[in-house]
Structures are given as structure tokens and as C-alpha cells.
């Protein structure tokens, strides 16, 4: 972390982001971007598994930048940008659900018996509801603990446990159904 970034962090302790100049905001946002970009990109990828990931990442950071001066720092930047990214992803999934619902019905009747492992995992992940998929990915892909997931999603840990158990059941079922005869 550069000296300027450390100075900016020290300014934040007492005054918040509103006290920073535009240049200082840009430097700080860039630092936060560099720290969280891989995590955000990967989080979105595992939720949508499509070629639209880059657009969703860009849209998420654009939304974050537009409201960055008002970021209240009650949570970490990583948690804040994750929520923005997931809300952007949810919007995308809701919009694409209508378009894809007929395609899914049409393609599910001709499922190949020769699914690769990656295809099998993707197909099984996509069968989870958005909320279950999110918990499943945070737990298994990013190694978050139950309490960390609860904090990130702003839900009780009991809710996380319930969603995780349901996600496991649905995922195992989907693997069993789609992976029948798959080695």
C-alpha cells in the first residue's frame, strides 16, 4: 500500500469519504478495485456461468463508483462491492430468466449423456435458486465460514445453514440425475 493510500486511510478514520478530494477518491477506489476485482469477477462468474460476466463486473464497479462518496464504511469495501455485484447479478438473472425459460425447456429434453465434469457442475449449479447458489458458492468456492456468509449477506447464521443444507441436497440430486452413467 502506497504512502498516499495510507494517508487517505488515516483521513477516513475521522472524517469519512466525503472529506476526500476527487483525486484521493480515485486513488482509494482504484486500490479497493485492485483488492476486490478477482473476487467480484469470480463471484459473478459462478452465479451466471455466461459470457456476460465482464459486463456485469463493469456495471457493478460503475454503480459502486457512482455512490462511492456515500459509502458509509459500516462494512468492508469487499462486502459492500459484493452486495452491489450480487444485486446487479440478480437483476441480470431476473431479466434473462424470461428469455431463457423457453430455451431451458427446449434444451432439457435433449440432454446429452456425455456431459463433461464442468458441464455437469454448471448444469447442477444452475438448478439451485439464486439465494441457495450464492451461499453454496461462498461456502465451497470461497471457503467462507457460516458466520462470514451471514455477515456478507446480512442474514442470520441459521438462515445460511438452512440455505446451505437445501443447496447441498438439490446439488447432489442434480449431480445424480444429470450424471447418471457419468464417470
Residue-wise pLDDT tens digits, 16-38: 677 778 888 899 899 999 999 99
> pLDDT tens digits, residue range 134-164?
999 999 999 999 999 999 999 999 999 999 9
What CATH code is assigned to 111-183? 1.10.10.10
Cell of 82: 459484493
What CATH code is assigned to 1-110? 1.10.1740.10
pLDDT band at 57 (very low <50, low <70, confident <90, very high): very high
Residue-range domain boundaries for the chain: 1-110, 111-183
What is the pTM for the complete model shown? 0.76
How high does pLDDT run on average in the chain? 83
Cell of 36: 476486490
Amino acid at each position: 500500500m502506497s504512502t498516499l493510500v495510507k494517508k487517505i486511510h488515516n483521513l477516513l478514520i475521522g472524517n469519512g469519504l466525503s472529506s476526500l478530494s476527487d483525486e484521493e477518491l480515485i486513488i482509494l477506489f482504484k486500490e479497493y478495485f485492485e483488492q476486490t476485482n478477482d473476487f467480484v469477477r469470480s463471484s459473478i462468474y459462478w452465479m451466471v456461468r455466461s459470457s456476460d460476466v465482464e459486463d456485469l463486473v463493469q456495471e457493478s464497479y460503475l454503480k459502486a463508483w457512482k455512490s462511492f462518496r456515500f459509502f458509509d464504511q459500516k462494512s468492508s469495501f469487499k462486502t459492500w462491492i459484493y452486495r452491489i455485484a450480487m444485486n446487479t447479478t440478480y437483476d441480470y438473472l431476473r431479466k434473462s430468466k424470461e428469455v431463457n425459460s423457453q430455451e431451458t425447456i427446449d434444451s432439457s429434453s435433449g440432454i446429452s449423456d456425455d456431459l463433461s465434469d464442468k458441464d455437469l457442475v454448471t448444469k447442477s449449479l444452475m438448478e439451485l435458486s439464486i439465494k441457495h447458489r450464492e451461499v453454496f458458492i461462498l461456502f465451497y468456492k470461497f471457503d467462507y465460514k457460516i458466520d462470514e456468509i451471514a455477515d456478507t449477506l446480512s442474514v442470520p447464521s441459521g438462515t445460511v445453514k438452512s440455505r446451505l443444507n437445501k443447496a447441498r441436497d438439490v446439488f447432489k440430486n442434480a449431480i445424480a440425475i444429470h450424471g447418471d452413467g457419468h464417470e
